[in-house]
Amino acid sequence: MNQNSVKTIGIKDESRKNSYLVSVNKVDGLKGILNMHFDEWSNFDSWESISVQQWIFSRALEVYRGLKIDIRCDCCEYNDLTPNDYESIKKEKCYGKKSAYMIEKVLDEIVLAKARRESDGTYSA
């Protein structure tokens, strides 16, 4: 996996030529979840919308499999998020950055689960 696998871009930004472009506008319910308090939207397992969970999980799997993803938000003209620049995510308003954070978070869980399976054949630590 490449650390530049997930990139957030604004309305006026160009998508990378070798990446899959997704838009937060096309995911019904995503903005509603991301508008909640950080403790609520950052807890992926508590989301009530299975379809939004599936969307995030599918993007994380695509990144896990080597695909690069550009997430277009509609709230920023330009976006300069650097990979893993999530220190201020609690204060963030950008739907694209929040989506990227959640994709990376789920991706980390996928990687951890794989490592656990390979080490002892189970998911337990």
Average pLDDT of the residues in 83-101: 80
Hey, what amino acid is at 113?
Answer: A
* Structural domain contains residue 59: yes
Q: How confident is the model at residue 122 (pLDDT cuts 50, 70, 90)?
A: low
* Structural domain contains residue 125: no
* Structural domain contains residue 1: no
C-alpha–C-alpha distance, residues 42 and 36, integer Å: 9
The one-character DSSP state at 15 is P
pTM of the model: 0.85
Q: What is the pLDDT of residue 118?
A: 82
C-alpha–C-alpha distance, residues 86 and 89, integer Å: 5
Q: What domain range is 23 assigned to?
A: 6-120
Q: What is the mean pLDDT of the chain?
A: 87
| Side-by-side strand order, sheet with 69-72 | 6-9, 69-72, 20-23
Q: What is the pLDDT of residue 83?
A: 47
C-alpha–C-alpha distance, residues 114 and 101, integer Å: 20
- How many structural domains compose the chain? 1
